[in-house]
Amino acid sequence: MLLVPRLRKFLQSLSLLVVSLFSISVMASQTIVDQTGQKVVLPNHIQRAVILEHHTLDVAVELGATSQIVGVVRNWQSLLGSDFARLAPQITRLPTPGDLTSVNLEELLSLHPDVVFMSNYAPEQMVKQVQSVGIPVVRMSFFVSNASQRTSFNPDIANGPKAYWQGMKQGITLLGKIFGREKEANALEHQMDVTQHIIHSRIKDLSKAQQTRLYMANPDMNTYGSGKFTGVMMAESGGFNVAHTIHGYGEVSMEQVLAWNPQVIFVQSRYRDIVPGIESDPAWQKIDAVKSHRLFISPEYVKPWGHPAPESFILGELWMAKKLHPKLFADVDLKQRVDEFYRQFYHTAYKPDLQ
């Protein structure tokens, strides 16, 4: 007969334990809103993150969260540049369970992630595939827009400079909160403010006629038009993207480039192999930028240009402004600024030769 009261007491204790554990679990979670506007419940302390979006990976490394990353996007090296392995050597040994548009669910599950980061334009099927096994998904865009454009690869944005500036700050703040790196996030945003002031204070009085006609040369006659961060960088540095009538990323004809006749041509460091072809092709010799030898390969630290990275605002725009208006920025020691940035956020010196 004593067994029943004891059993009842045991069950009551077990019930209290379950309630207590549930309460602890609730207290240990946080609800965030990702950059597509979706509410996501996450653990308060992220220990195992899988990052399937390259700019998110870059920012996480800059925030000092490398030890919290257990898996990365498959083609991170081509997306972020070959030098990124030197900046975050730990990630070269990490599993790569997916890319920007697909995921290997079995491999992902083996990593036991607390959260998976994806791009804002990741396919819905990919997002739901991960969510269906109980893993939270946070999508990052690094721009702000109306609801209809939040998951777009080529968003239709009315005010590009404002949308990307606010979106980058929002993204850094969000990642700082998720990884518990708020102090580092504040420092990164502060550097954005400092550089913006340096550039804007010097180009604010430039007339439209003083803006330099720019073109971004990519492989296979592709370029970046409106809706991409490239045009924002050009405008914010005192230039004008001649391909602004193209929406997003697209192919153009040689005839069109000849008609635009850009004064300066930029080539990303990852695509430097196309430069000899441009310099030796008779068609390109008719363009002002080639005739005046103003074809510049962006340094590694500028990073790819389709979407922004913190370096785009802090280093890239300053490099571009100095190339376009050398007299206005003659006193800016770019080498020193780049090295200081790398020491503070990547904890290493910037070694390659600066342009």
| CA separation for the pair 41, 30 (Å, rounded) | 6
- The answer to whether the 28-193 and 208-345 domains have the same CATH topology is yes
Q: Are 136 and 116 in contact (CB under 8 A)?
A: yes
Nearest to 120 by CA among 55, 181, 203, 213: 55
Domain covering 208-345 assigned CATH 3.40.50.2300 in the classification: no
**Quick one: CATH architecture of 28-193?**
3-Layer(aba) Sandwich (3.40)
Global confidence as pTM: 0.83
Domain boundaries, the chain: 28-193, 208-345
The pLDDT tens digits for 178-227 are: 999 999 999 999 999 999 999 999 998 888 888 899 999 999 999 998 87
The pLDDT tens digits for 125-183 are: 999 999 999 999 999 999 999 998 999 887 888 888 899 999 999 999 999 999 999 99
Give me the torsion for CA of 197, 243, 156, 53, rounded to 10°: -70
| CA separation for the pair 97, 107 (Å, rounded) | 6
